[in-house]
Structure 1
Amino acid sequence: MPVIKILPHAELCPQGAELQAAAGSTICEVLLENHINIEHACDMSCACTTCHVIVREGFKSLNEADENEDDLLDRAWGLEPNSRLSCQAIVAQQNLVVEIPKYTINHAKENH
């Protein structure tokens, strides 16, 4: 079973974590199942960028991003070449190292 190592995030996971992940699960599902409350304002329907993560290791083992995800990622805060929406990134058999960005764009949360 692959392991997802979550790098420390001041609010969501201050100490970092190592999580067992079932292949076929999304990164977002694994985080939520392990009480790491990553934002997912669109209920994981690939309609926002609040679950944006940066995959530091194991990026190529994930499924390919589709055009809709790529278009949304263009609006994500702190976009990097190895960014994914965690609700769309499906875990394969390889271990991952994931960073949750410090900020997210969530207009509902920010009272816009």
Structure 2
Amino acid sequence: MPIIKILPHAEYCPQGAEISAPAGTSICEALLENNIHIEHACDMSCACTTCHVIVREGMASLNALDENEEDLLDRAWGLEPNSRLSCQAFLAQKDLLVEIPKYTINHAKENH
């Protein structure tokens, strides 16, 4: 099973984390299943950018971006060339290093 290393994020995992998930699992699903409560306002239907992540290592092992994801990423805060929507990025056999950006464009976030 591939390992996902998550860089520290003040809200979601202050100490960083290292989790594993089976190939074919989305990064978003893997994070949520391991109690890293990344935002996913559209319930992982590729209709928002709240689950945006930056893949620091292992990008080439993920599935290719489709046109819908690519269009949505243009609206993500802190977009970088190695940005993905975590609900659309599916694990293969390689390990990943992932950063959750500090902000999202979710104006309706709960508890704030």
TM-score between both structures, scaled by the size of structure 2: 0.96
Superposition deviation, residue 21 in structure 1 = 1.3
CA RMSD of aligned residues (A): 0.9
Residue of structure 2 in register with 1:34 after alignment: 34
Q: Deviations over 1:52-93 (max 9, x none)?
A: 000000001000010000000000000000000000000000
**Aligned pairs (5 A) from 1:72-87:** 72-87=72-87
Q: Secondary structure at the match of 1:103?
A: coil
Q: Secondary structure at the match of 1:41?
A: coil
Residue of structure 2 in register with 1:102 after alignment: 102
Count of aligned residue pairs for this structure pair: 110
Structure 2 stretches of 5 or more lacking a match?
none
Structure 1 stretches of 5 or more lacking a match?
none
Q: Secondary structure at the match of 1:97?
A: strand
Aligned residue type for 2:11: E
Paired with 1:36 and 1:101, the residues of 2 have a C-alpha distance of 14
Determine what percentage of the aligned residue pairs are the same residue.
82
